[in-house]
Structure 1
Amino acid sequence: MSHDVPPPPGPPAQPPNSGVPSGNSFDPASVARPDWAILGIGFIVFIFSFFNYYKWEYRGLGINLSSTWSAWHFDHGLFIAWLAMVATVVGAAVVAISLFSPAVQLPQPARALSFLAFAVGFVLYLIAIFAHSDFGPNGGHDFSFWISLVLSGAGAVIALMRAQQTNTALPGPLASLPRIGK
């Protein structure tokens, strides 16, 4: 006597166009180019944080001395550049979470958080130009600092553009910023 037992039911099917990727169906082509730019900026700023943010050199009287510091050096007010880097990377990470893990609930819309993080990073980089110990005439900011400053500013502009393109409400007076991009 054989009993035909039906197989157990599978997971419920996703409704069409639910916006939730099913399984391994992520399509990189579905990500807008500005979003890839935001992700790339965060990655590049993180990588450059390990290179020279500050430098000091002395050459004279037969003596050659030099020293460099990355964003991961926290003495003498240099932590501000580290904090700027972290804010910039967080701005990119928020977009990554919204794209690759849409089920994760963020406290605010991802586009608004991304713009705010990039903007804070950019302002902190500007502050870091002036808020460190005096290196004297033989020292100052190095190439990674300047690249990160420019990239965080570009990230803020692109993140603002994406927030406006996706009709994301920005908080307070930021809501009245002029529209940029298409």
Structure 2
Amino acid sequence: MSYDVPPPSGPPAQPPNSAGPSGNSFDPSSVDRRDWAILGIGFIVFIFSFFNYYKWDYSGFGIKLSKTWSAWHFDHGLFIAWLAMVLTVAGAAVLAVSLFSPAVQLPAPARQLSFLAFGAGFVLYVIAIFAHSDFGPGGGHDFSFWISLILSGVGAVVALMRAQQTNTALPGPLASLPRIGK
């Protein structure tokens, strides 16, 4: 004996990974390679924040001492480097939100916020070169700090390029910056 089961009422179920209710699905190939670069820079700066930002070495009188600090330490004036790292990562995060979740309303255009965050992060990294307390002759900035400084500068330039390519209005005197890239 067999029983006929009636089909369920309502709209048919969509298979996984298909277009959503709006008919849009995320296609990674639709994201510009410079946007991927911005996202990658933010991720790499975040990873490097856990490594040595500052170091201090002492060797004398038969004693060897060494101390390192990551971006997550706030003593000795290191807060500036931490804030620079946070702004750089936030610049990438804002762009990620706009790319992967376009329904989220941001307080300003995402590319404008991304450029401003990367630019402020870069400026703070430059200030951090001079602003930390004196570590003495055996101390200073370590490899993660310098890599993060360089990457935040590159991120600011790429974010500016993308803002200009997408005709995003920049605030105040930044609107008159010369166009870079294609």
Task: Give the TM-score normalised by the residue count of structure 1.
Answer: 0.89
Q: Which residue of 1 aligns with 2:10?
A: 8
Q: Which residue of 1 aligns with 2:103?
A: 103
Deviation at 1:61, TM superposition (A): 1.5
Q: What SS is found at the alignment partner of 1:134? A: coil
Q: Does 1:162 align with 2:162?
A: yes
- The total of aligned residue pairs comes to 169
Change in Cα spacing, 1:167 to 1:21, as seen in structure 2 (3 Å) is farther
Distance in 2 (CA, whole Å) between partners of 1:95 and 1:180 is: 19
Q: Does 1:26 align with 2:19?
A: no
Amino acid at match of 1:51: F
Deviations 1:112-153 (A, max 9, x none): 000000000000000100111101110000000000000000
Distance in 2 (CA, whole Å) between partners of 1:72 and 1:92 is: 19
Structure 1 segment 19-98 matched on structure 2, within 5 A: 22=24, 25-98=25-98
Distance in 2 (CA, whole Å) between partners of 1:94 and 1:180 is: 22
Structure 1 segment 118-129 matched on structure 2, within 5 A: 118-129=118-129
Q: What SS is found at the alignment partner of 1:116? A: helix
Distance in 2 (CA, whole Å) between partners of 1:135 and 1:86 is: 23
Distance in 2 (CA, whole Å) between partners of 1:50 and 1:170 is: 32
Deviation at 1:6, TM superposition (A): 9.4
Distance in 2 (CA, whole Å) between partners of 1:5 and 1:62 is: 84
Deviation at 1:7, TM superposition (A): 3.5
Q: What SS is found at the alignment partner of 2:77? A: coil
Change in Cα spacing, 1:5 to 1:96, as seen in structure 2 (3 Å) is closer
Change in Cα spacing, 1:21 to 1:157, as seen in structure 2 (3 Å) is farther
Deviations 1:75-121 (A, max 9, x none): 12101000000000000001100100000000000000000000000
Amino acid at match of 1:8: G
Q: Which residue of 1 aligns with 2:16?
A: none
Deviations 1:2-50 (A, max 9, x none): xx99943579xxxxxxxx663xx21111110000000000000000000
Distance in 2 (CA, whole Å) between partners of 1:10 and 1:121 is: 49
Deviation at 1:60, TM superposition (A): 1.6
Distance in 2 (CA, whole Å) between partners of 1:93 and 1:21 is: 25
Q: Which residue of 1 aligns with 2:3?
A: none
* Long gaps (5+) in structure 1: 12-19
Q: Which residue of 2 aligns with 1:135?
A: 135
Q: What SS is found at the alignment partner of 2:137? A: helix
Deviations 1:43-67 (A, max 9, x none): 0000000000000001122110000
RMSD: 1.7
Q: What SS is found at the alignment partner of 1:137? A: coil
